[in-house]
Structure 1
Amino acid sequence: MEKERRQQERQTAEPPLDAFELHSGRNLGRVVDLSTEGFMLFSEELLNADSLWEFRLVPAQTIEGIEEIRLGADCLWQRPGADGQHCWAGFHIIDLAEEQAQALKRLLKGHG
């Protein structure tokens, strides 16, 4: 049994959060769960583990005045979806400006 390595408990992302690649604007998928340290993404495309990404996480509706959160994240792992076309990917947040960190905390609080 794999030991749980997460420091923070993750919450289901409600309302849903879409994840966009910051520079291209490409929609990479939907955030499944989220914490202040990381998130799991269900992606429309196969993502590589050990890759770095810059994201805009955009809630389906504005929460606590938050329209988006910008962050950098490291893809720690990925598993292909059952259809072989999608994937599940786990990300560790590695770059988050202070105001974005505060927005993420407010977003998580709004979910709770």
Structure 2
Amino acid sequence: MEDRRQNSRHTPELQLEVFELHSGRRLGRIVDLSSDGFMLFSDTPQRADTLVECRLVSEQVIKGVGEIRLAADCLWSRPAADDQHCWAGFHIIDLAQDQAEALELLLEHL
């Protein structure tokens, strides 16, 4: 399978949780992150072709960054081996300039 990523992925050493912006519902934990997307490990199934406004929350503040707000498109979703969790891939589609800068600071730390 061809890897079409344009930016390198980073596996976070710190815990990054994702929450739906408006409801506050936890979507899952980030298992890899790049400047244009992320892969999520979730307790609940995610629907492909769904747009979500969310917050990426770091377990520790890095250079003043503890949270990043963005909009992402769920490109794919698959059940995990245990059939109780799922994996999902998201493409970041909307990110304000200050949030993009915060994401780059976070990625530098990873």
Q: CA RMSD in A?
A: 0.7
Aligned partners of 1:55, 1:13: CA distance in 2, in Å?
Answer: 18
1:83 paired residue number:
82
1:68 paired residue number:
67
Aligned partners of 1:36, 1:18: CA distance in 2, in Å?
Answer: 16
Structure 2: give runs of 5+ residues left out of the alignment.
Answer: none
Identity %: 63
Are 1:72 and 1:94, in contact at CA under 8 Å, matched by a contact in 2? yes
> How far does the alpha carbon of each residue in 1:44-71 deviate from its partner, in whole angstroms, 9 at most, with x for none?
1000111111110000111111110000
1:92 paired residue number:
91
Post-superposition offset of 1:14: 2.1
Matched residue of 2:41: which SS? strand
1:27 paired residue number:
26
Residues 1-20 of structure 1 mapped to structure 2, 5 A cutoff: 2-20=1-19
Matched residue of 2:12: which SS? strand
TM-score by length of 1: 0.95
2:103 paired residue number:
104
Where has structure 1 moved over 6 Å in runs of 4 or more?
Answer: none
One-letter identity of the residue aligned with 2:94: D
Are 1:64 and 1:110, in contact at CA under 8 Å, matched by a contact in 2? no
Post-superposition offset of 1:13: 1.5
Structure 1: give runs of 5+ residues left out of the alignment.
Answer: none
2:44 paired residue number:
45
